[in-house]
Amino acid sequence: MVVFNPFPSNHSPSIFLGKRQLRRLDHVPWNLRSNSVVFPSTIMAIFWGPKKISKPQELNPSLGSFPLIASVPEGSSAIQMKPQKISLSVVTSISEISAEDWDACALDATGPEKFNPFLSHAFLSSLEESGSATKQTGWLPQHILAQDEFKKTVGVVPLYLKSHSYGEYVFDHSWADAFYRYGSRYYPKLQSCVPFTPVTGQRILVRNTWFKEQVFDILLSALKDMPAKYQVSSLHVTFPSENEWHRMKNFGFLQRIGMQYHWINRNYQNFDEFLMDMKQSKRKTIRQERKKISAQNLKMTRLRGDEIKAKHWDSFYKFYRNTTDNKWGSAYLTRDFFQIMGSKMADNVLLVVAEDDGELVAGALNLIGGDTLFGRLWGCRSHVYYPNLHFEACYYQAIEAAIELKLNKVEAGAQGDHKIQRGYQPVTTYSCHYISHDGFRQVIEDFLVHETEQVKHVIKLLIDSGPFKEGIDWHA
């Protein structure tokens, strides 16, 4: 339990919020009205609607220049030795950075063998151009651009100024509620991520130069300093790589873990070979589920590239809206997003569709990476139920596609312990959080210690009770 003053005198209001309005505390229990508030160490996970969501104003600052001080390794060319400093700036649209420069940073950061389509200029620009991730939807782009003195781009970071916590899949609504209940503002906040996409990947994208480690540290240090510069509550980096997660700890970021379900390809030649690694009861269940698809006269097709026509996107968007309207009440992505993304990334798009008597009735959207098939969205026709179609379209078709394309794994998205019995196993995901307020920071850090223990325990239990035969190493 930590004691702190939630209204420190030196805490100036955010420049995005105008004059600060403190709430009356008449309804707060007497033991919480003193300047030194006793804050509970357990933060309840609840959702709330703020009295007023602040609307961030546009800010486009220079983040400064930084000298390069490392010695040049032996064998470096004279051209590589030229840069002497790095300048950082913020752009309010990814269109201000060329696709060539952005993608060069992304590809160098991951390596071509682990190409991540969600980090591409094509995907991120599709979100902005379609109106899905914009200032109007609470996602104001604030991407960081690192350049040397010759205006060569050597690093980028996808970053957004947000007025809410939706579309992130790392839930901090309870943190926002804690700020709100004690008279402080949690929003706006800064978020480094791929909007609406719970996919692990590099967040600090740096070109492969002799000074790349310096650029990485300069960008990471700049991220840490941005909450103070913007006068906002916090900065969050969600679904970074494990290596980034470890390095951010040294810069004062709080560490958090989560869990997803991935399918691992053990060099299978076909789907039946994968089933032979499963326990007999699980293998039988999967075969029965797949038989029900043909018994319903459903035709499954995997479409790629120019095989995907406007009519497919029209139908899929209806399916997507049916899912979001029933599950969440609102859709993050616009119809234009699918058309723009599909045209820009045709070779990396895999759309699984189901037909009933020639009519499209369901679909599952996947993106193809260097070594991974990423399952993203699913939807079906409204007011109709096809038993086991969700499992077939989202999981079994993805497994078959990964085997056919010789990909190492399938990432099936967030949540869903039903995936375990279908061959998908729990893996750890990561996030990092920089909280400006010392008091709240300490309480959240204590909370994360306990949450981390629980997540690790659950992952171990799920692995130990997995669907595979004894002796099968699903990590292999």
| Residue 127 reports pLDDT greater than 60 | yes
Residue pair 423/272 in contact (Cβ under 8 Å)? The answer is: no
H helices of 165-250, in order, are 173-181, 212-230, 242-249
List, in sequence order, every residue forming a beta bridge with 161; answer none if it has no partner. 140, 190
Comparing CA positions, the residue from 429, 16, 432 lying closest to residue 192 is: 432
My answer on whether 396 and 442 are in the same domain is no
My answer on whether 277 and 378 are in the same domain is yes
User: Which pLDDT value is given to residue 61?
Assistant: 77
Which of 404 and 26 is assigned the larger pLDDT? 404
My answer on whether 349 and 450 are in the same domain is no
Spell out the residues 6+ positions from residue 458 whose beta carbon is closer than 8 angstroms to its own: 259, 426
pLDDT band (50, 70, 90) for residue 373: very high
How far apart, in whole angstroms, are the C-alpha atoms of residue 114 and residue 345? 16
pLDDT band (50, 70, 90) for residue 470: confident
My answer on whether 209 and 322 are in the same domain is no
| Residue 244 reports pLDDT greater than 80 | yes
Residue 358 maps to which CATH number? 3.40.630.30
Domain that holds residue 394: 266-407
Comparing CA positions, the residue from 369, 370, 371, 303 lying closest to residue 338 is: 303
Q: Helices 242-249 and 212-230: crossing angle, nearest 10°? A: 60
pLDDT band (50, 70, 90) for residue 60: low
My answer on whether 155 and 99 are in the same domain is yes
My answer on whether 244 and 349 are in the same domain is no
| Residue 137 reports pLDDT greater than 80 | yes
Number of folded domains that form the chain: 2
Q: Is residue 40 part of a domain?
A: no
Residue pair 228/435 in contact (Cβ under 8 Å)? The answer is: no
My answer on whether 326 and 249 are in the same domain is no
Residue pair 428/257 in contact (Cβ under 8 Å)? The answer is: yes
Sheet containing strand 153-157, edge to edge, reads 62-67, 85-91, 143-148, 153-157, 205-206
| 23-32, 75-84, 252-261: least confident range | 23-32
My answer on whether 245 and 280 are in the same domain is no
- The two tokens of residue 280 are 């007999």
Q: Is residue 231 part of a domain?
A: yes
| 27-41, 56-70, 458-472: least confident range | 27-41
| 34-48, 159-173, 287-301, 356-370: least confident range | 34-48
| Residue 43 reports pLDDT greater than 60 | no
Q: Is residue 432 part of a domain?
A: yes
State whether the Cα torsion 337-310-117-327 is positive or negative: positive
Residue pair 116/201 in contact (Cβ under 8 Å)? The answer is: yes
| Residue 291 reports pLDDT greater than 80 | yes
My answer on whether 118 and 251 are in the same domain is yes
Q: Is residue 297 part of a domain?
A: yes
Whose structure tokens read 């993608």? 103
Q: Is residue 422 part of a domain?
A: no
Give the predicted TM-score (pTM) of the model: 0.86
Supply the mean pLDDT for the chain.
87
Q: Is residue 161 part of a domain?
A: yes
My answer on whether 189 and 237 are in the same domain is yes
My answer on whether 200 and 71 are in the same domain is yes
Whose structure tokens read 């497994």? 399
Q: Is residue 469 part of a domain?
A: no
My answer on whether 458 and 372 are in the same domain is no
| Residue 416 reports pLDDT greater than 70 | yes
How far apart, in whole angstroms, are the C-alpha atoms of residue 226 and residue 235? 8
| Residue 35 reports pLDDT greater than 50 | no
Q: Is residue 12 part of a domain?
A: no
Spell out the residues 6+ positions from residue 216 whose beta carbon is closer than 8 angstroms to its own: 155, 204, 206, 247
